[in-house]
Amino acid sequence: MNQAVKFIGKIESSIKTIAESPLQGNENAPGATIVIFHEFAEGTKDIKPGDEIILLTWLHLADRSTLTCYPRNNTSLPLTGVFSTRSPDRPNPIGMHPVKVISADGNGIIKVAGLEAIDKTPVIDIKPIVSRQGL
């Protein structure tokens, strides 16, 4: 069984450091570009402007030893198990970002609104957001 995660692309963003990044995309995060590597680009051919997608990323700057944290970095709250939070610091730092597609060229370049991922963050998958009726 192959258990390796393949990066399929990367993020191009104006956010360069963890300190610059909002905690969530809906907290004034800038738009960004998803660049899918050539060998995976055909998989983006049906993504269209207006689509809502879930972008899965590998939070490469995360602390993988973290098991507890303060939710939203608020030290007035009790330490909480990391699996009950959205902290990027965790043993397997997979980021989950619901975003709206602004433009897509059908060949691996997708511009999205409100993405809190840092520049050069690896992309591991893209999934559509579907309504209950669309399942």
Q: Which pLDDT tens digit goes with each residue over 20-43?
A: 776 666 667 899 999 999 999 999
Mean pLDDT of 60-77: 91
CA distance 75 to 50: 38
SS3 of residue 44 by DSSP: helix
Q: What is the pTM of this model?
A: 0.87
CA separation (Å) from 90 to 11, 55, 70, 114, 124? 20, 18, 13, 23, 16
42-63 pLDDT, tens digit each:
999 999 999 999 999 999 999 9
99-135 pLDDT, tens digit each:
999 999 999 999 999 999 999 999 999 999 986 555 5
Q: Where are the domains of the chain?
A: 9-129
92: left (phi over 0), alpha (psi -120 to 50) or beta: beta
Domain 9-129 listed as CATH 3.10.180.10: no
